[in-house]
Amino acid sequence: MLFSEVAECFAKVEATASRLEMSAQAAELLKKCEKEEVKPLIYIIEGNVAPSHEGLDIGIGEKFAIRAISQTSGYTEKAVLAEYKKSGDLGSAAENLLSKKSQMSLASSPNTLSKAYSSFVKIAQMSGAGSQESKVSLLSELLNGAKPVEARYLIRFCLGKLRLGIGDPSIIDALSMMKHDDKTDSQTILRAFNLCSDLGEVAEYYIAGKDLSHFSTQPFKPIRPALAERLSNAEEIMNKLGKCAVEAKYDGLRMQVHVREGRVDIYSRKLEKMTHMFPEITQAASKLKIKSAIFEGEALAYNAKEKKYYSFQQTMQRKRKYGIEGMAKEFPLRLFVFDLMYLNGKDMTLEKYSKRRKSLEKLFSKTEPLVPSELIYTDNPKKLDIYFTDLIGQGLEGIIAKDLSQPYVAGARKFAWIKLKKSYGALADTVDIVIIGYYLGKGQRQEFEFGGLLAAVLNDETDEFETIAKIGSGFSEDEMQSFEKMLDEIKVKDKPKGVNSKLTPDFWVKPKYVITVAADEITLSPMHTAGMVGETGYALRFPRMMSLRDDKGPEDITTTKEIIEMFEMQKK
């Protein structure tokens, strides 16, 4: 397939607001693919050359992309920069300049999808001295054979800014629609994706006609994390689950550890590899007496002498690129292991909690700093309450109750796990929201140019970010300064696609940074679009910033549906 066909489809997707329509357009494109083109195409639509957990990012610098455009279009770099400034998008600048170019280079032949993808991979893999020059010549070669609309997407892709507004759920629907013209297979495809986080691999498996229900977990393919539901009290939990395991809820850093024959990798909640940051965990995992395993836990900095947990903020200091050994000594981690999803070649995700837990306890005895999470088993709400109060007294966040008969539900929020957290005002939980814009300071704050944030929840039915709060308090001066700097880098000219807002902040930003916010309650509001029906949406009353959550991505935030559930719970 020619890359120009891909680009033309991308242009249509970009101009489409309806999620279903976007999937239909992608399905048409997938239908035109040769078998071996499907996997690369899926990665390209996702805006990358490989699943993000492989850490292979394309990222050409703007300066070099400008050079490539100049070389191909015949315009000077200064002229390219001037065109870029007009629209704020280098892809459109390339498209405009190339369309003004009178003729295609004589030597150039049109780009195929396979050629474009293999150049992208080469560009991503190149590093070291002289690599930028080689990247520029590969990109120039692609631009030479490109139609103007292709140039738009070649440039955006190579800058890591494709942003078609089509997320994984819509790509999954597109795969199903390619075979059935509807979403018949979406759930089965989603399950397989949740088990390996590699949509390219799942797509290849699917179009080869293999039975996706046999798809299983494998080491070094991270599993999308199971999520917890909420209920408002111990009684409700017992009514729902009956006798269950009540585990301590640690407020630390979620880790998924993969081990096979001495090799260890640790993935974050966002499924990014962070192995090298935690030498003590890696070492302990490599010493386990097993062939292979995948397990999950919450890591906390723990002072064994004083039997005291450090705070979330202190624990988070361990997530860093430099000074790792020193920090490992000062704030050694303990990993409270709470699930076991794979053991010695066997996929454990379909086993009941009780069976997984038994294997987990057997494996993690005398394996400090890897220890099983603490728990009690009970069907008595009073016992749950006593345990809850005891844990809060120790500085923990609350409990997670677990259904003894449920499998590991990858990537989904089901009643297999139910959380109960210490409360903030009438609200039973904090919420995780994504920043979509910010305001300039007024009065005293003017010197920081930062006056607060506009933030949103995710409507997972429409795939839109809906505003729920303006947050002006809870920031230290340092935080305000660092927010201003961070957000300035991701400023965009117009409201980003996929954002639904009635408010207009001083600056829009790309939805990227997630914050945890506490509030007094959820109220109805005519200003915010979260769950809006007619003129009324939901808003957070007196929201205050608790922490920046760089372990969570925009797809992991609180959903509109959860906000409505929390609103209903609060009424009780």
Active site residues: 249
Task: Select the residue whose beta carbon is closest to ligand AMP and give its number.
Answer: 254
Q: What is the rounded CA–CA span in Å between residue 164 and residue 13? A: 7
Closest approach of ligand AMP to the CB of residue 55, in Å:
21
516 to 282, 456, 544, 546: CA distances (angstroms) = 28, 12, 9, 5
The residue written with tokens 């990858």 in the block is 410
Closer CB to ligand AMP, 89 or 298, in the complex: 298
Q: Among 94-102, 163-171, 198-206, 247-255, which window interacts with ligand AMP (CB under 6 A)?
A: 247-255
The residue written with tokens 């001295």 in the block is 129
Closest approach of ligand AMP to the CB of residue 338, in Å:
4
Under a CB-based contact definition with an 8 Å cutoff, are residues 492 and 479 in contact? no
Q: Does 419 contact ligand AMP by CB under 6 A?
A: yes
Residues 6+ apart with CB under 8 A from 323: none
Q: Does 191 contact ligand AMP by CB under 6 A?
A: no
| Region 442-501 residues binding ligand AMP, contact defined as CB under 6 A | none
Q: Does 250 contact ligand AMP by CB under 6 A?
A: yes
Q: Among 28-36, 78-86, 245-253, 494-502, which window interacts with ligand AMP (CB under 6 A)?
A: 245-253
Closest approach of ligand AMP to the CB of residue 397, in Å:
7
Question: Max alpha carbon distance in the chain (Å)?
Answer: 81
332 to 254, 305, 368, 369, 397: CA distances (angstroms) = 15, 12, 11, 9, 20
Q: Does 340 contact ligand AMP by CB under 6 A?
A: no
Q: Does 254 contact ligand AMP by CB under 6 A?
A: yes
Closer CB to ligand AMP, 248 or 343, in the complex: 248
Site size toward ligand AMP (CB under 6 A) is 11
- DSSP letter for each residue of 258-273: EEETTEEEEE-TT--B
Under a CB-based contact definition with an 8 Å cutoff, are residues 551 and 529 in contact? no
Closest approach of ligand AMP to the CB of residue 422, in Å:
11
Q: Does 247 contact ligand AMP by CB under 6 A?
A: yes
Residues in contact with ligand AMP, shown as a per-residue x/- string from 53 to 72 under the rule CB under 6 A: --------------------
Q: Among 39-47, 243-251, 340-348, 378-386, which window interacts with ligand AMP (CB under 6 A)?
A: 243-251
Report the candidate in 94, 104, 173 with the shortest Cα–Cα distance to residue 145.
104
140 to 83, 111, 128, 157: CA distances (angstroms) = 18, 12, 20, 14
Member of 49, 139, 146, 400 binding ligand AMP (CB under 6 A): 400
Closest approach of ligand AMP to the CB of residue 487, in Å:
23
Q: Does 249 contact ligand AMP by CB under 6 A?
A: yes
Q: Which pair of tokens denotes residue 166?
A: 């089509």
The residue written with tokens 């909640």 in the block is 269
Residues making contact with ligand AMP (CB under 6 A): 228, 247-250, 254, 298, 338, 373, 400, 419
